[in-house]
Structure 1
Amino acid sequence: MALDRQPVLETERLRLRPLTEDDREALFEVASDPAVWEQHPIHDRWRREVFDAFFDEGLAAGGAFAVIRKSDERIVGSTRYGEVETDEEGDVVEIGWTFLAPYCWGKGLNPEMKQAMLEHAFKEVAIVEFRVGDTNYRSRNALEAIGADRTERYELGRYQGKRVVHLVYEITREDFEAGPLA
């Protein structure tokens, strides 16, 4: 059975549903705050044309979600499952491309969202990976808090002529079942 990369996931305070074109403006309202991207390697996603390319990529790739706060039905961010790949240890999926409005930071919404996504993913895959910019300490700390381990792997890229390093973190099904979100 293959992983359904666009289910509707419910938590106590959030609903994650497949991203649609109709979400563009509400999500841009969240993404247009430069604070969201200040530690991110693509630090200018608050700019309309950069955001639109990111949004279009998410729609085209599939697996992208609108994150909705149930208390007011407001879109407060987005996240995505990548394509499922198979390696020697089994099926692997990436969770990433995540951002939340600053007014949601520090309220436990990211771990709540990740718990639902991990529970769903581990029904079908053995490993979940995350890629995070090496200077994105907020995201790195958040990943470590949910039990993700930094691997020895990293990816190099370039953005606006500058080197970009993405560190690779992962959680195995077994580590998840014994970890802080279990």
Structure 2
Amino acid sequence: MPFEPQPYLSGALVDVRPLRAEDFADLYAVASDPLIWEQHPARDRHRKDEFTRFFREALDSRGALAVIDRREGRLIGSSRYHGYDSDRGEVEIGWTFLARSHWGGAYNSELKRLMLQHAFRFVGTVVFLVGPDNIRSRRAVERIGGVLSGTWADGDGVESLLYRIDSRSCVPSWSPSPRSPSSSV
């Protein structure tokens, strides 16, 4: 079975679905907060021109996901699967951001739990690339079981810390809860 990079997932707090072009305005309303990006290597992503580039790349990736607050029914952020490698048995989860109103752990933890559950149906390892100065994201990845495994540099020489989570180290009670593509989110 091939990896599905844009699943429909549902938890107690969030629904996750493929990101769509019509999500731009709602997602930019979240992303326009400069404090979301203050520790991120792309600190200007709150600017509309920078976010437009990011959003276009997200859609082109065919792995971008919208994160919806179930109680409020509104878009609160996004995440993405990237770099699926069947030979290595790994995929990356990244580009995650949530509205500051949803910071504090519960929403991000559930989002990552849902994404990990889905990924581990296809791979044995999930990787996260985090900017060295992004203390919030480093702590969040460590809280969900990420183990610092080294560094990685992109084609422009921008260095990231490489975290890994192995399927064998995850809580066994985690089980996938995908929603069918016909379900409304």
Aligned-CA RMSD value:
1.7
CA distance in 1, matches of 2:12, 2:5: 21
User: What TM-score results when the alignment is normalised by the length of structure 1?
Assistant: 0.91
Out of 102, 108, 114, the position equivalent to 1:110 is 108
Q: How far apart are 1:177 and its partner, in Å?
A: 3.7
Written as runs of structure 1 = structure 2, the 5 A alignment for 1:1-182 is 1-87=1-87, 90-155=88-153, 158=156, 164-177=158-171
Which structure 1 residue ranges, 5 or more long, are not aligned? none
Q: Is the 1:157–1:165 Cα contact (8 Å) retained in structure 2? A: no
Q: What's the secondary structure of 2:4's corresponding residue?
A: coil
Aligned length: 175
CA distance in 1, matches of 2:5, 2:159: 26
Q: How far apart are 1:155 and its partner, in Å?
A: 1.7
Which residue identity does 1:167 align to in structure 2?
Answer: L
Which residue identity does 2:84 align to in structure 1?
Answer: V
Q: What's the secondary structure of 1:44's corresponding residue?
A: coil
Q: How far apart are 1:38 and its partner, in Å?
A: 0.2
Which residue identity does 2:138 align to in structure 1?
Answer: R
User: What TM-score results when the alignment is normalised by the length of structure 2?
Assistant: 0.89
CA distance in 2, matches of 1:156, 1:53: 18
CA distance in 1, matches of 2:63, 2:108: 17
CA distance change for structure 1 residues 51 and 8 in 2, over 3 Å: closer, same or farther? same
Q: What's the secondary structure of 2:158's corresponding residue?
A: strand
Displaced runs of 4 or more, over 3 A = none
Q: Which moved more, 1:116-125 or 1:147-156?
A: 147-156
Which residue identity does 2:9 align to in structure 1?
Answer: L
Q: Is the 2:105–2:140 Cα contact (8 Å) retained in structure 1? A: no
- Percent of paired sites with the same residue: 43
CA distance in 2, matches of 1:157, 1:167: 15
CA distance in 1, matches of 2:154, 2:4: 29
Which structure 2 residue ranges, 5 or more long, are not aligned? 176-185
Q: What's the secondary structure of 1:97's corresponding residue?
A: strand
Q: How far apart are 1:157 and its partner, in Å?
A: 5.9
Q: What's the secondary structure of 1:134's corresponding residue?
A: coil
